[in-house]
Structure 1
Amino acid sequence: MSKIMFDYTKSVLERVSFDPILFCKELEKAIKALLPYEIEELREWLQQFTTGKPELKLCLLIVNI
């Protein structure tokens, strides 16, 4: 079940990445819903996903990257 939640979280973040404020809000929700090891996977995914998207880099502070 948790893999489904992780994949869903990535999907939502990809869809809202056009708006940094919305992206941050969704990221905050994800942090509350995911398990600790999933948050670590999300950190790795976010580093790769935000490459070339400087407007989203500030949101990475939410997950302490």
Structure 2
Amino acid sequence: MLEYVKLILEKVSFDKQLFEKELKKSIRDLMKEELIDLKKWCYENFSKEHEILNRCFV
């Protein structure tokens, strides 16, 4: 599931609103272990959306 989420987030990263929507949905659906990996991956790959990431990973 985590790899699928990464793929989706990469595809929607051009649109901040859509990216945030998909990220929130992913956070809700993933297991805790996957969520830790997702958070790390997001900060590594989407630092330009830093404010969105901070809002979602509260």
Alpha-carbon separation, structure 1, partners of 2:34 and 2:13:
20
Aligned residues: 57
Is 1:32 paired with 2:25?
A: no
Point out 4+ residue stretches in structure 1 off by more than 3 angstroms.
none
TM-score relative to the length of structure 2: 0.90
Q: Secondary structure at the match of 1:18?
A: coil
Residues 8-23 of structure 1 correspond to what in structure 2 (within 5 A)?
A: 8-23=4-19
Aligned match of 1:41: 37
Q: Deviation string for 1:6-65 (max 9, x for gaps)?
A: 0000000000000011000000000111001111000110111013xx2x112112113x
Identity of aligned residues (%): 37
Stretches of structure 2 lacking an aligned partner (at least 5 in a row): none
**Which structure 1 residue ranges, 5 or more long, are not aligned?**
none
Query: Does 2:43 align with 1:50?
Result: no
TM-score, normalization: structure 1? Answer: 0.81
More helix by share: 2
User: Counterpart of 1:24 in structure 2: which amino acid?
Assistant: E
Report the RMSD for the aligned CA atoms in angstroms.
Answer: 0.9
